[in-house]
Amino acid sequence: MPFLRIFSLAFPLLLAACSSVGVGVSVPLFPGVSIGVGGGSGGMHLGVGAGAGPVGVGVGVNQRGQVSTGVGVGTSTNVGGAQVGVGVGTSTTVYDPDQPRVRR
């Protein structure tokens, strides 16, 4: 479960734009799945993530209503009773309410 904890911490970063940096916290819902909230240079994010081993995926929404999906890898260690870690990943915006819909 170490990766789930690191993924949970890194999840808001994975949902942010490429040049974004932030910090987040999460709560495990059940093994392998957590819900998290974070904030940073990309704004506030709320999301759900799932992880197995060093790989994780997630989906989230920011304060502007943009929905993003992300994938990443990470690692963590126990520091003073808390899981602390680092991860890297990529994301893409799958829905943006400010973008006009193309009608066909």
Residues 11 and 38: beta-carbon distance below 8 Å = yes
**In the 8-state DSSP scheme, what is residue 102?**
P
Per-residue model confidence as pLDDT tens digits over 12-33: 444 444 456 677 777 888 888 8
Q: Give the amino acid at 23.
A: V
Distances (CA, A) of 88 to 29, 95, 102: 23, 22, 33
Domain definitions of the chain by residue range = 2-95
Q: Diameter of the chain by CA atoms?
A: 57
Q: What is the pLDDT of residues 43-77, one digit of tens each?
A: 888 899 888 878 888 899 988 899 988 888 888 78
Count the Cβ atoms, other than its own, within 10 Å of residue 15.
33
